[in-house]
Amino acid sequence: MRLGVLVPAGNPTIEPELYRMAPRGLTIHFARLDTLAGEPGGADGMERRTLGYLESLPSATRSLAAVQPDAVVLAHTAVSYLTGFAGEPGLLARLRELTGRPSFTAASAIQAALHHLDAHRLALATPYPETISTAGRAFWTAAGFAVVAHRRLDTPNIYAENEQRAYELGRAADVSEADALLISGTGLPTAGIIDRLEKDLGKPVVTSQAAMLWQTLQLLHTGEPVQGYGRLLSGPAAPR
């Protein structure tokens, strides 16, 4: 099975994280989305840079088509936040038209994962500037979730962050009334902290990376559990 991943050009995190979590039998292939709007991962200009990635979707999907992926994901949660929940169906339709394959976004994978976990009240952790963090909160509210707490990581560059900072962000974001903790952002390293946070908090922890991998396994009809990265991946598959 082959997963195609469309990733922002400067993101150094998503490749090693997905390789680390992927079960045997799934190979992962990346195409990079280019933009000229400022420093990759930098807080300055992130909104303009994020929307600029959409312009390179046609060329990136053409290069990815050469490996004939079985499914394709747009691995950039913030782009869905900025286009809005109302714009998500159009973004998904464009992605599927360009790829000719079953395709989804990081945000749509998170939404499906949260429904699978029967989570309704979210503690939201974001590593973005205020404008994108606010758009993220609005996205999940429009999607029908109650965002009962929200903590933002004030960072000059998401790509310079580490797992310990992500862990501290998750702990700070959580509140007792939340059903689940959502740590957003494919550029934030989280693979090594999901199990630890779940044990500490006593609730599911969903990250962009884990949700994308879970959604891939649902689309490709493999129920093989993946251990070590939280209950989403280690639990039973979603009903078909």
Domain check: are 11 and 127 in the same one?
A: no
Q: Which domain holds residue 37?
A: 2-106+209-234
The yes-or-no verdict on residue 45 having pLDDT over 70 is no
Domain check: are 167 and 222 in the same one?
A: no
Domain check: are 155 and 220 in the same one?
A: no
> Residue 38 is part of a domain; what is its CATH number?
3.40.50.12500
Establish if 114 belongs to a structural domain: yes
The yes-or-no verdict on residue 40 having pLDDT over 80 is no
Domain check: are 22 and 45 in the same one?
A: yes
Query: Tens digit of pLDDT for each residue in 7-21?
Result: 998 899 999 999 999
Give the C-alpha separation, 117 to 94, whole Å. 28
74: confidence class by pLDDT, cuts 50, 70, 90:
very high
Establish if 239 belongs to a structural domain: no
Domain check: are 96 and 17 in the same one?
A: yes
Domain check: are 14 and 85 in the same one?
A: yes
The yes-or-no verdict on residue 170 having pLDDT over 70 is yes
How many helices (H) and strands (E) would you count in the chain?
A: 11, 8
Establish if 139 belongs to a structural domain: yes
Mean pLDDT of the chain: 92
Domain check: are 136 and 116 in the same one?
A: yes
Establish if 120 belongs to a structural domain: yes
Structural domains of the chain, count: 2
> Residue 116 is part of a domain; what is its CATH number?
3.40.50.1860
Q: What are phi and psi of 126, to 5 degrees?
A: -130, 145
Establish if 8 belongs to a structural domain: yes
The amino acid at 96: R
Query: Tens digit of pLDDT for each residue in 196-238?
Result: 999 999 999 999 999 999 999 999 988 678 999 999 999 876 6
- Cβ atoms 86, 141 nearer than 8 A: no
The yes-or-no verdict on residue 148 having pLDDT over 90 is yes
Rounded to a whole number of angstroms, the distance between the first and last alpha carbons of the chain is 19
Domain check: are 12 and 45 in the same one?
A: yes
- Cβ atoms 143, 111 nearer than 8 A: yes
